[in-house]
Amino acid sequence: MSNPEIESVLTEQRTFAPSSEFSAAARIGSMDDYRALYRRSVEEPDAFWAEMAEQLHWFKKWDRVLDWEPPFARWFSGGEINISTNCIDRHLDSWRKNKAAIIWEGEPGEERVIRYQDLHREVCKFANVLKGLGVEKGDRVALYMPMIPELPIAMLACARIGAIHSVVFGGFSAEALKDRINDAQARLVVTADGGYRRGNIVPLKDNVDAAVEGTPTVKNVVVYKRTAHDIKMKEGRDHWWHDLIEGASAECEAARLDPEHPLFILYTSGTTGKPKGVVHSTGGYLLGVHLTSQWVFDLKEDDTYWCTADIGWVTGHSYILYGILSNGATTLMYEGAPNHPQPDRFWEIIEKYRVTIFYTAPTAIRAFIKWGDQWPKGRDLSSLRLIGTVGEPINPEVWVWYSRTIGKDRCPIVDTWWQTETGAILISPLPGATPTKPGSCTLPLPGIVPDVVDKNGESVDDNQGGFLVIRRPWPSMLRTVYGDPERYKQQYWSQVPGVYFAGDGARRDSDGYFWVMGRVDDVINVAGHRLGTMEVESALVSHPYVAEAAVVGKPDDLKGQAIYAFVSLESSHEPSDALMDELKAHVVKEIGAIARPDFIRFTQELPKTRSGKIMRRLLRDIAAGSHTVGDTTTLENFAVLTQLMEEEE
């Protein structure tokens, strides 16, 4: 049975098998090996996960693998574990103690190499600083930082003492930061004076100053000096990182934590106005990111691995930091923009550090294509052996360009499907085993049981569109929405009863390959980042001139989707270009530059059904250009269109 709302139109036929050379050296080198592992993982899940969990360091082994009281899971009950021990301490009694854990490059060009021993020292010191400021196990700490090594150091320091970190992406505004601090009731904020982006300074501390005006729980702010420009320091509340760290002990015993102890909260957009605080655990999350780093990235001891995400998103948490360091690998971190000072900055970095594994987003690849082949062609990319993507469906033509121009038809591509909520990659090729098809994230990883279903939860036939769901719990799944277990139940486990509802439309082809088509809810995907249309609407409506707003995604060659806002004004106000600019700036202030509407269209009223629901399908069509009427500032009356649509239905 098909789902009439989700129609699949893509009919990509090409397949690309991994080279025999790659397969021969890979951790999982054939489809037979993959199938055997997968079969075991679903036939004997407890035994499988238990065996896998032996790879981690446990202070105390678990009694039970899984307690599942749907939709609440407890993994590895009775065990005791710490993520910072797994990511650092266990590498110190081998030669890895002097191996580079983090290689960092600042946007202005500085380099730092932090070996595992250095990381241990810095993390212990900062953990002691946190303790000195009164941070205790279970307390929330907000991190609003540039992409500098002190961000992972602060995260690992929180993990070491059992504090729960909530990283807020540095591109979010003061207002968005305030909301997230308040929702998490954080008691401390760690920030920097600023960070570098495209040659400019991002004024992080100024934003923190504005945010903490409205956050009663925050008692202290720690400030790392990165840009050394002038900022205000408030006596008694603000402390310089370097002052606190001086004299802090370099020894700090790691807390023995219940595997279910929350490691972090990360806010992500949903269909209602308020972002959701996705809560991840310690033990299950670590197991998920540890294993998938091996399976998907085929991590080896001598790899130099680079994920270009910002740590403010889940990709950075899982695959710049935790999954990579728990495997004792070398992770590269770059602070700034891909086109600063020139559009070949990424390729220059690959050439300079001999990067072997490169993980980025389709939106970035589309920008590379636009900037021109001369930039990657002008650099030596021969060190690369594996390349990957995440964040949105990749168009087959973009995939082919990536394979040819960056991967030189030699590197397998891993198109990895996952979400903030899933913690780790769930559907992806195994680079040494899986033949790939451009545009498909291919097959589920071991232990993961996805399906494509209709509204009643019935599996749909091959090649029919439907909802992507996951039928069984997995270790790195989110545990709840912070402070709102009802929302967790409602959002993820009630839409289709008994299974995890991902919010994506998908189809499965006759080889069992998954093709993800995009969101089925009111979430848009702008440059690989999720934005709830409600969030942008709420921001617009908070402007005093705006009566009502409806936001939809408009297909965009570069960003995947652009933000298209329909706005009706209070009757005393007239549309104008100046007001349009003002409204865009208002959204930037409320949420951040990523949410800036690309288009604003003024309208007398929004088209609604008789029951009062905004007709988003109509608005999406109009935004996409199928019913264009006048330029953007023209006031439009949708009454006629609405009537036509209703007659059609």
**Residues in contact with ligand PRX by the rule CB under 6 A:** 268, 314-315, 390-393, 415-420, 441, 502-504, 516, 518-519, 525, 530
What is the smallest separation between the CB atom of 391 and ligand PRX, expressed in angstroms? Answer: 5
Closer of 227 and 360 to ligand PRX (Cβ)? 360
CA end-to-end span of the chain, whole Å? 22
Q: Are 364 and 338 in contact (CB under 8 A)?
A: yes
The CA angle 580-584-585, to the nearest 5 degrees, is 115
- Dihedral sign of CA atoms 269, 272, 273, 279 in order: negative
Closer of 509 and 605 to ligand PRX (Cβ)? 509
Token reading at 566: 């329909």
- Dihedral sign of CA atoms 314, 316, 321, 326 in order: positive
Q: Which residue is nearest to ligand PRX (CB)?
A: 420
What is the smallest separation between the CB atom of 544 and ligand PRX, expressed in angstroms? Answer: 32
Q: Are 413 and 403 in contact (CB under 8 A)?
A: yes
Q: In whole angstroms, what is the distance from residue 238 CA to residue 34 CA?
A: 52
DSSP state for residue 498 in the 8-state scheme:
T
Q: In whole angstroms, what is the distance from residue 535 CA to residue 273 CA?
A: 5
Instruction: Give every CB contact of residue 96 below 8 A, 6+ residues apart in sequence.
Output: 116, 328
Instruction: Give every CB contact of residue 618 below 8 A, 6+ residues apart in sequence.
Output: 607, 627, 638, 641, 642, 645
- Which of 523, 530, 528 has the alpha carbon at shortest distance from 551? 523
Specify the amino acid at residue 255.
A
Q: In whole angstroms, what is the distance from residue 267 CA to residue 276 CA?
A: 5
- Estimate the crossing angle of helix 174-184 against helix 577-590, to 10 degrees: 30
Query: Cis (ω within 30 of 0) for the bond into 71?
Result: yes
Closer of 115 and 274 to ligand PRX (Cβ)? 274
Closer of 169 and 353 to ligand PRX (Cβ)? 169
Q: In whole angstroms, what is the distance from residue 426 CA to residue 474 CA?
A: 9
Instruction: Give every CB contact of residue 243 below 8 A, 6+ residues apart in sequence.
Output: none
Q: In whole angstroms, what is the distance from residue 301 CA to residue 116 CA?
A: 14
Token reading at 390: 């995440």
Name the strand (E) or helix (H) holding 470: strand 466-470
Indicate left, alpha or beta for 163 from its phi (over 0: left) and psi (-120 to 50: alpha).
Answer: beta
What is the smallest separation between the CB atom of 7 and ligand PRX, expressed in angstroms? Answer: 17
Q: In whole angstroms, what is the distance from residue 572 CA to residue 586 CA?
A: 19
Closer of 146 and 391 to ligand PRX (Cβ)? 391
What is the smallest separation between the CB atom of 422 and ligand PRX, expressed in angstroms? Answer: 8
Closer of 28 and 527 to ligand PRX (Cβ)? 527
Closer of 281 and 395 to ligand PRX (Cβ)? 395
Closer of 224 and 501 to ligand PRX (Cβ)? 501
Q: In whole angstroms, what is the distance from residue 372 CA to residue 420 CA?
A: 32
Name the β-bridge partners of 466. Answer: 506
SS3 state of residue 433: coil
Name the strand (E) or helix (H) holding 294: helix 283-297
Alpha helices in 494-629 (DSSP H): 533-541, 577-590, 616-624
Closer of 426 and 580 to ligand PRX (Cβ)? 426
DSSP state for residue 385 in the 8-state scheme:
-
Closer of 282 and 363 to ligand PRX (Cβ)? 363
What is the smallest separation between the CB atom of 392 and ligand PRX, expressed in angstroms? Answer: 5
* CA distances, 54 to each of 57, 92, 287 (Å): 7, 19, 10
Q: Are 527 and 560 in contact (CB under 8 A)?
A: yes
Longest dimension (CA), the chain: 75
Going by their DSSP bridges, the two strands 188-192 and 220-224 should be labelled as: parallel
What is the smallest separation between the CB atom of 274 and ligand PRX, expressed in angstroms? Answer: 16
Q: In whole angstroms, what is the distance from residue 257 CA to residue 300 CA?
A: 29
Residue found under tokens 């690989």: 528
Name the β-bridge partners of 111. Answer: 105
